[in-house]
Amino acid sequence: MLGDFSYSNPTKLYFGKNALDGLKEELPKYGKNVLLVYGGGSIKKNGIYDKVTAVLRECGKTVYEDAGVMPNPTVEKLYEGVKRARDAKADFILAVGGGSVCDYAKAVSISVNCKEDPWDRYYIRFEDVAPDCKIIPVGCVLTMVGTGSEMNGGSVITNHAQKLKIGHVFGDNVFPKFSVLNPEFTYSLPKYQMTAGFFDIMSHILEQYFSGGDDNTSDYIAEGLMRSLVHSSEIAVKNPTDYEARSNIMWTATWALNTLIAKGKTTDWEVHMIGQAIGAHTDATHGMTLSAVSLPYYKFIMPYGLKKFVRFAVNVWGVSPVGKTDETVAEEGLQAMEAWMRRIGLVMNISDLGVKEDMLDGIVKSTLIMQGGYKVLTADDVLTILKNSL
């Protein structure tokens, strides 16, 4: 454990079948005007909307709605949400949905009282929230598992005109005040979204795991999380209402990206940068953009972090190293990951997401280059990885 760090996480979690009871404890702490933010309507079909609004009524709140948050929320929707929150004089924002809804709620919360254009300030210049900008507190009721947005400061916004999808990871003043995590609320997810979320979790862990060469407690935690995810995901794809599997996955997702396993590490995040660039050009489902490029990416960087790939193969996938070269062990680890990805039905090629060869140069231009992994990529490297992902 070589890196220096500080650690705190201010988000209170309510987990389990009765987690929504936590909302009754939390809402009285905030003002009367609540902006209820949700997506395209799934919460009306599965009954979560009725359950949440019943609690809001019971707590005597005046509710203003901001519906229609799309997957991969756009900057135009953000501007609309800011206006709604201002008109409502919102004291509190309640996000009910997946990562898109939670991310969007955070973006609105820090933009309502922002004197500048929030896209320019937060997503182009990567500046923090100004000290004199009052942040509207946010709470989440999570309905889709994967992003970790329920317990982190991440907020990803897409600007289609600029062909950019950018995530800003804010400090703990932007984290949700609380999140309600009821695994049963995720049962109605279509299989495609469910498995995309599973790979998003895996990718978050890999992005943090594949960096550094020290002996780091974070990596041991990461290995445990990956093993739990692989085990439970196989059960969940066969039986989506297996509570034990779905609850383990929900808990794993939260710990995969709530800053814990990044402690003491540089972390990589290049797969996410390539995935987000693909998202900016195709609007594809986040988790699938990651699954489609991960194997070509990890094969490409494997020689630069070989020892860690050997450890990954042995500790996560149970590959026996006896009598084999490091290269062989490392390759068998990635083969085991590929077999798992195919078993749970992930998208394995970017062409399946609508990417054509003539789009690759544009995607390269939209890809941010990170410094913390085993190889700092060049633009040519990104192009090679994308070609290998077609």
Binding site for ligand NZQ (CB under 6 A): 39-43, 46, 71-72, 97-101, 103, 143-144, 146-149, 152, 154-156, 167, 185-186, 188-189, 193, 197, 200, 257, 272, 286-287
Instruction: Return the number of the residue (48 or 330) whose C-beta is nearest ligand NZQ.
Output: 48
By a kind-dependent CB cut-off of 5 to 8 A, residue 333 interacts, out of ligand NZQ, Zn ion, none, with: none
Report in angstroms how near the CB of residue 76 gets to ligand NZQ at its nearest: 14
The partner in contact with residue 212, picked from Zn ion, ligand NZQ, none with C-beta cut-offs of 5 to 8 angstroms by kind, is none
Between 85 and 174, CB nearer to ligand NZQ: 174
Pick 103 or 200: Cβ nearer Zn ion: 200
Per the CB < 8 A criterion, the answer to whether 289 and 278 are in contact is yes
Nearest CA among 174, 184, 200 for reference residue 71:
200
Residue where the block lists tokens 């209402």? 241
* Distance (Å, whole) CA 389 – CA 298: 11
Contact of residue 329 among Zn ion, ligand NZQ, none (CB under 5-8 Å per partner type):
none
* Residue 200 or 223 with smaller CB distance to Zn ion: 200
| Burial of residue 120 (number of CB atoms within 10 Å: 0-12, 13-18, 19+) | exposed
Q: How far is the CB of 91 from Zn ion (least distance, A)?
A: 30
Q: Quick check: 143 and 98 in contact, CB under 8 A?
A: yes
Which option in Zn ion, ligand NZQ, none does residue 152 bind, with CB closer than 5 to 8 A by kind? Answer: ligand NZQ
Q: Between 112 and 144, whose beta carbon lies closer to ligand NZQ?
A: 144
Smallest gap from Cβ 166 to ligand NZQ, in A, equals: 9
Residue among 149, 147, 159 at smallest CA distance from 74:
159
Q: How far is the CB of 40 from ligand NZQ (least distance, A)?
A: 3
The listed partner (ligand NZQ, Zn ion, none) that binds 232, CB under 5 to 8 Å by sort, is: none
* Partner from ligand NZQ, Zn ion, none binding residue 197, C-beta < 5-8 Å depending on class: ligand NZQ
Task: Tell me 130's DSSP state.
Answer: -
Provide the binding-site residues for Zn ion, judged by CB under 5 A: 200
Contact 148, 204 (CB under 8 A): yes
Q: Phi first, then psi: what are they for 3, rounded to 5°?
A: -80, 150
CB of 132 to Zn ion, least distance (A): 32
Q: Which is nearer to ligand NZQ, 49 or 340 (CB)?
A: 49
CA torsion, points 52, 58, 63, 68, in degrees to nearest 10? Answer: 10
Are 79 and 70 a contacting pair, CB within 8 Å? no
Q: Provide the minimum distance between the beta carbon of 157 and ligand NZQ in the complex, in angstroms, as a whole number.
A: 8
Which residue, 98 or 118, is less far from Zn ion as judged by CB?
98
DSSP labels for 325-355? -HHHHHHHHHHHHHHHHHHHT----GGGGT-
How far from 192 is each of 76, 90, 217, 238, 271, CA to CA, in Å?
26, 34, 33, 13, 20
Q: At what angle do helices 191-209 and 217-238 cross, to 10 degrees?
A: 170
Q: What minimum distance in Å lies between the beta carbon of 299 and ligand NZQ?
A: 22
Name which of 34 and 205 has its Cβ closer to ligand NZQ: 205
* Least separation in angstroms between CB 383 and ligand NZQ: 22
